[in-house]
Amino acid sequence: MTMCAGGSVDALIRSTPNRSLDETWISYICKKVLQGLDYLQELNVIHHDLKGANIMLTSTARVKIIDFGLATIGPISTSNAGTRCWMAPEVHACFTRSVHYNYKVDVWSLGITAIEMAEYNPRK
Protein backbone atom coordinates (compact mmCIF):
# COMPACT_ATOMS: atom_id res chain seq x y z
CA MET A 1 0.00 0.00 0.00
CA THR A 2 1.33 3.42 -0.95
CA MET A 3 1.74 6.15 1.65
CA CYS A 4 -0.30 9.19 0.58
CA ALA A 5 1.46 11.89 2.59
CA GLY A 6 0.04 14.60 0.30
CA GLY A 7 -3.41 13.98 1.77
CA SER A 8 -6.76 14.05 0.04
CA VAL A 9 -7.73 16.46 -2.71
CA ASP A 10 -10.50 17.66 -0.40
CA ALA A 11 -7.96 18.50 2.33
CA LEU A 12 -5.70 20.18 -0.23
CA ILE A 13 -8.57 22.40 -1.39
CA ARG A 14 -9.48 23.33 2.18
CA SER A 15 -5.84 24.23 2.92
CA THR A 16 -5.63 26.88 0.19
CA PRO A 17 -6.51 30.50 1.05
CA ASN A 18 -9.24 30.81 -1.60
CA ARG A 19 -10.41 27.19 -1.29
CA SER A 20 -9.68 26.36 -4.90
CA LEU A 21 -6.87 24.80 -6.89
CA ASP A 22 -4.96 26.25 -9.81
CA GLU A 23 -6.13 25.05 -13.25
CA THR A 24 -2.80 23.27 -13.75
CA TRP A 25 -3.44 21.15 -10.66
CA ILE A 26 -7.07 20.53 -11.60
CA SER A 27 -6.12 19.31 -15.08
CA TYR A 28 -3.28 17.15 -13.72
CA ILE A 29 -5.51 15.50 -11.10
CA CYS A 30 -8.36 14.99 -13.58
CA LYS A 31 -6.00 13.44 -16.14
CA LYS A 32 -4.58 11.00 -13.60
CA VAL A 33 -8.02 10.08 -12.23
CA LEU A 34 -9.27 9.49 -15.79
CA GLN A 35 -6.34 7.14 -16.35
CA GLY A 36 -7.31 5.34 -13.16
CA LEU A 37 -10.96 5.15 -14.21
CA ASP A 38 -9.89 3.77 -17.60
CA TYR A 39 -8.04 1.00 -15.78
CA LEU A 40 -11.04 0.31 -13.54
CA GLN A 41 -13.27 0.09 -16.61
CA GLU A 42 -10.95 -2.56 -18.07
CA LEU A 43 -11.56 -4.52 -14.86
CA ASN A 44 -15.35 -3.86 -15.00
CA VAL A 45 -15.23 -1.94 -11.72
CA ILE A 46 -17.56 0.97 -10.99
CA HIS A 47 -16.25 3.02 -8.04
CA HIS A 48 -19.59 4.68 -7.06
CA ASP A 49 -18.08 7.22 -4.64
CA LEU A 50 -15.51 9.29 -6.50
CA LYS A 51 -15.00 12.70 -4.85
CA GLY A 52 -12.19 14.86 -3.51
CA ALA A 53 -12.11 13.00 -0.20
CA ASN A 54 -11.46 9.73 -2.09
CA ILE A 55 -8.62 11.02 -4.26
CA MET A 56 -5.25 11.06 -2.51
CA LEU A 57 -1.84 12.47 -3.38
CA THR A 58 1.52 10.97 -2.50
CA SER A 59 4.46 13.13 -1.43
CA THR A 60 5.62 13.07 -5.08
CA ALA A 61 2.16 14.15 -6.38
CA ARG A 62 1.10 10.72 -7.63
CA VAL A 63 -2.69 10.51 -7.69
CA LYS A 64 -4.46 7.55 -6.07
CA ILE A 65 -8.15 6.64 -6.02
CA ILE A 66 -9.16 5.20 -2.64
CA ASP A 67 -12.18 3.79 -0.78
CA PHE A 68 -13.59 0.99 -2.88
CA GLY A 69 -16.13 0.06 -0.20
CA LEU A 70 -19.09 0.89 -2.47
CA ALA A 71 -17.51 -0.34 -5.71
CA THR A 72 -19.23 -2.98 -7.81
CA ILE A 73 -17.75 -5.47 -10.23
CA GLY A 74 -19.52 -5.86 -13.54
CA PRO A 75 -20.16 -3.70 -16.59
CA ILE A 76 -23.64 -2.66 -15.38
CA SER A 77 -24.96 -1.68 -11.95
CA THR A 78 -28.27 -0.80 -10.32
CA SER A 79 -26.82 0.30 -6.97
CA ASN A 80 -27.80 3.66 -5.50
CA ALA A 81 -24.65 3.79 -3.38
CA GLY A 82 -22.47 6.86 -3.20
CA THR A 83 -22.48 10.44 -1.99
CA ARG A 84 -25.51 12.30 -3.36
CA CYS A 85 -23.82 15.55 -4.45
CA TRP A 86 -21.42 13.59 -6.65
CA MET A 87 -23.97 11.10 -8.05
CA ALA A 88 -24.87 10.99 -11.72
CA PRO A 89 -28.57 11.42 -12.58
CA GLU A 90 -28.82 7.71 -13.43
CA VAL A 91 -27.74 6.78 -9.91
CA HIS A 92 -30.24 9.23 -8.38
CA ALA A 93 -32.95 7.56 -10.47
CA CYS A 94 -32.22 4.25 -8.72
CA PHE A 95 -33.86 5.64 -5.57
CA THR A 96 -37.28 5.58 -7.24
CA ARG A 97 -37.02 2.89 -9.92
CA SER A 98 -34.75 0.16 -11.23
CA VAL A 99 -32.26 1.79 -13.59
CA HIS A 100 -29.17 0.20 -15.12
CA TYR A 101 -26.02 2.24 -15.72
CA ASN A 102 -22.32 1.72 -16.39
CA TYR A 103 -18.88 3.10 -15.53
CA LYS A 104 -19.75 6.52 -17.02
CA VAL A 105 -21.29 7.51 -13.69
CA ASP A 106 -17.74 7.73 -12.30
CA VAL A 107 -16.86 10.21 -15.08
CA TRP A 108 -19.84 12.35 -13.98
CA SER A 109 -18.53 12.23 -10.40
CA LEU A 110 -15.11 13.36 -11.63
CA GLY A 111 -16.78 16.33 -13.33
CA ILE A 112 -18.40 17.31 -10.05
CA THR A 113 -15.02 16.82 -8.37
CA ALA A 114 -13.46 19.21 -10.91
CA ILE A 115 -16.07 21.80 -9.87
CA GLU A 116 -15.19 21.01 -6.25
CA MET A 117 -11.51 21.68 -7.01
CA ALA A 118 -12.29 24.98 -8.75
CA GLU A 119 -14.99 26.33 -6.44
CA TYR A 120 -14.94 24.00 -3.39
CA ASN A 121 -18.74 23.84 -3.29
CA PRO A 122 -20.02 20.96 -5.47
CA ARG A 123 -23.58 21.55 -4.27
CA LYS A 124 -24.10 24.63 -6.48
Is 49 an annotated catalytic residue? yes
Catalytic residue among 38, 49, 67, 106: 49
- Give me the long-range contacts of 109-113 (CB less than 8 A, separation at least 24): 109/47, 109/49, 109/50, 109/51, 109/82, 110/30, 110/33, 110/34, 110/37, 110/50, 112/51, 112/85, 112/86, 113/9, 113/30, 113/33, 113/50, 113/51, 113/52, 113/55, 113/86
Catalytic positions are 49
